[in-house]
Structure formats: C-alpha cells, structure tokens
Amino acid sequence: MRRDIDHLLAGTAPAPGPGMTRGARELLEEITSHAAEEPETAGAEPGPGSPRRWRRWGLSVVAALVAALGLAGPGFLGLGAGPAAAALDIRQENGFYVVMVRDLYADPEVYQEQLRGLGLNVSLRLVPASPSLVGRIWEGTVRTGGERTAEGGRRKDAIETIDGCLTADFPCAIGLRIPVGYTKKIDITLGRRGREGERYTLIASVDAPGEPLHCTGFRGERVDRVIALLRSRGVPDAVFVTADGDRATVPGSWYVHEGVLRSAGSARLLVGPTHSRPDVPGPRMRGDDCVKDSS
C-alpha cells in the first residue's frame, strides 16, 4: 500500500492553471475509499493495521495533500471558485488559450508566471481605462495630454480580446484569446475599469460609444451646457485645455470642441472663444458615429 501511495504522490505536481492533477485525484479516491471501510466493534482498541487507524492516517494525508496543493479553503470544499492564487483563468478552446483575468490588480509578474507555464512568452499588464476601452488592447504610440489612447481589439498575429468587451455593454469580460503554440515574445496591455480617483492611462473621446457624452452632439456647444450634460451623467469635475494652456475655469460662453475622461468623475475639455478649434498639439479625438434608434 505504501508503494501505491508513493506512486500516486509522484503524480500530484500541479499543472498550469487551476485544478488538480489526475494523480492527486487518484490519491484522494484511494484514501476516501479506505476511510469508508466497515468500522470496528465499539470499544475495541485499534491495532496497528486496523481500519480506524488507517482512517486517521488517511485523513492526515488528505490534510497534507490539500495544504501542499494549495486547495484549502472554500474552493476545495465546492463553495468557491477554486484556487485563490490564480490571477488568470485559462482554458483551451478551438485552437486558442482563452485567458480570462480574475485578479485585475495583480502584479504583471503573476500573470506572466501563469502564461509561462503554458510555454507562452507573453507579458500582460492591466491599466485603468476610459469605459469604452475596458478590455481593449493598447497597441499605439499616440499620446495626448501625456496619456495613452487605445487602438483596436484584434492583432495581425491572431491574438484577440474577448468579444464581450468590444461593445458598450458593461461590465464585460476582460481577457485574451492566444493561439495554442504561439511562440513570439510580446507585451500586451489591457484596459481595466479605473478605481475611484484613479487617472486613466487609456483614454477615448468623451462621445465614443460607452462614454458619457455619446450621442449628445456636444461638439460646438457652449461650455455651460456641456458641463451640465457631464454632471447629469455622473461626471462632476472638468478641466479645460485652451490655446494658451490648461485652465481651471473658462467663460461659460466659450465653445467645446473635444473632450476625454481623465477619471471616472473628471473630464478634460478642449475649449475656445470661437467656433474655430484651438491650435493645440496632439491628435484630434474623434468619437464613433452616433446611430440613434429611429423607432
């Protein structure tokens, strides 16, 4: 019996990703099957090879195995989501690794360690992003106001984001589809929802789908009206960019030409005294075409 247990223990090393190995499952089945043996006569003292003594030994092995595999806690008992240490949930499907991010705030090295276990040389990190860019891949080099803008969700090398994040519906799943056998070294940055007061790293136009001023026609409107629109949509704060630099306040009669969210409650608006767009450095922030319901 000892040789059988030693043989099973040799196969209990955790595989990449959550769950138990086949060997670990076999060991638990072996232990529990012996633990269910017929009990001894009441009052009898268990001998060296008695079922009761085996049950005690077996339960201690279960406890040691659970601790060694990191299965202790609600997940192992069927009450939770499995091993708590897994920052990524990874499964194989249709020739892809489907990588779902469970811990949005883990250190990038934690993600990379899990991906490395699959033979992938992929570095992954998550950064705070404007609502329409949550779950999107950042690939560009364009910067505006010192902040990055995001571009697209699919790459030429077939790495894709999870489709649920390419719409304006929130919350959405955050993750990647990586081809099985992918051999390139690549760094991937994904947008995640920002925490309270956290400045966005990935930004989009304030009227893009999923953003607070989508389909409002705010461009060319007076500052006072745009500020009222933002406040009615949960964005109480704004700073202003002018031809002469940033300002905390501007006349309410000036015109708003473009805008982005800086954080969940703060906008950054490009404004000027006329309908002509101020000549300021940086890209033009274009919102997606507004398609209103005609019914």
Q: Which DSSP symbol is given to 132?
A: G
Rounded CA separation 54/63 (Å) = 14
pLDDT tens for each residue of 5-57: 444 334 434 444 444 444 444 544 554 454 444 444 445 555 555 545 444 44
Q: Which residue has the higher pLDDT, 74 or 177?
A: 177
- pLDDT tens for 245-292 read 999 999 999 999 999 999 999 999 999 999 999 988 877 887 766 765
Asked if the bond preceding 171 is cis, omega within 30° of 0, the reply is yes
Give the DSSP letter of residue 24.
H
CA nearest neighbour of 188 among 151, 213, 226, 236: 151
Please report, for the chain, the start and end positions of each structural domain, with discontinuous segments joined by +: 2-39+48-69, 88-202, 205-272
Is pLDDT of 204 > 70?
Answer: yes
**End-to-end Cα, the chain, rounded Å:** 74
DSSP-assigned states of every residue in 136-197: PEE----EETTEEE---SB-TTS-EE-GGGGSS-SS---EEEEETT----EEEEEEEEPPTT
For residue range 147-181, list pLDDT tens digits in order: 455 544 445 577 888 865 654 455 567 999 999 99
In this predicted structure, the answer to whether residue 295 has a pLDDT above a threshold of 60 is no
